[in-house]
Structure 1
Amino acid sequence: MSGNELDKEGFRAAKDMIQVLKGTVESLQLNLSQERDTNDGLQLTLESLKEDNERLQEENFQLQSELESLKEKEKKQSSNEESGKPFLSSGELAEKLRFYYQDMKKVDAKNLTAEDSETLYNILDYTFKALKKAGLKL
């Protein structure tokens, strides 16, 4: 084979290699596009789960508040109200309100959302009920 023929053979091999590499690049681009679509779907799922989590935490807070109210109501009914003795001692009152105080401290006062406002309302409502039951006259 002459040098010219070897050059042509080398160019053909290079051309074939370039075609193979182009096919590989196209395949990788398709795979990348599919992975990006999958990631976008997962991101939407994650956002939806975060919203569900926030909603469930709020429902849990409300149910705990209702449960505490029911427990207090039951205690009040069973206590001797004629004695004039406060329903709760200051230590018991502090223990009851500690959970709600911690929740209140978690709220960012500079960026209140509608959910934060509702949470703060529930905390205040529960706090005043607890104070009344402890004997505070409002």
Structure 2
Amino acid sequence: MNENELNTLGFKAAKDTIQVLKGTVESLQLNLSQERDANEGLQLTIESLKGDNERLQEENFQLQSELQSLKETAGKEPSAEKTDNSKASLQELAQKLSFYYQDMKKVDAKNLTAEDSETLYNILDYTFKTLKKAGLKL
């Protein structure tokens, strides 16, 4: 083979290598774009969950305030029978809700998943229904 033929073969090999590299770059750019889209979706989910968390914390604070108010009101009642009934009612509520409270404590607030948010929603839903059945006005 002469020098021209070798140069031609070298240029053809370089051209083929460039084509392969272009394909690799396009594939990597597509993968990067998909990962960015996935990250944006996760960011939106995180922001939504943060908003839900803030709302739930506020509702929890309100419920605790109402519970404290109820405890103070129950403590002022002169009738021992009413106090005993109130304590019994609170104990029944505690028993009904304790299982769900334990489930809630198992959730890692710093690493919430979609499954965790569904669990938390169901816990709150059950809790509020139970409180309504017990006579608490929300």
TM-score range, shorter chain: 0.5 to 0.7
Return the alpha-carbon distance in structure 1 between the equivalents of residues 65 and 18 of structure 2.
Answer: 70
Return the alpha-carbon distance in structure 2 between the equivalents of residues 53 and 26 of structure 1.
Answer: 40
Superposed counterparts of 1:1-138, under 5 Å: 1-78=1-78
Structure 1 residue ranges, 4+ long, deviating more than 6 angstroms after superposition: none
Give the CA deviation at 1:38.
Answer: 0.3
Q: Percent identity?
A: 78
TM score, norm. by length of structure 1 = 0.56
| RCO comparison, higher one (Cα < 8 Å, 6+) | 1
Return the alpha-carbon distance in structure 2 between the equivalents of residues 45 and 22 of structure 1.
Answer: 35
Q: What residue identity is the alignment partner of 1:4?
A: N
Return the alpha-carbon distance in structure 2 between the equivalents of residues 49 and 32 of structure 1.
Answer: 25
Give the CA deviation at 1:78.
Answer: 3.4
Which of structures 1 and 2 has the bigger CA Rg? 1
Stretches of structure 1 that go unaligned for 5 or more consecutive residues are: 80-138
State the Cα deviation string for residues 85-135 of structure 1 (Å, max 9, x = none): xxxxxxxxxxxxxxxxxxxxxxxxxxxxxxxxxxxxxxxxxxxxxxxxxxx
Return the alpha-carbon distance in structure 1 between the equivalents of residues 15 and 28 of structure 2.
Answer: 20
Stretches of structure 2 that go unaligned for 5 or more consecutive residues are: 80-138
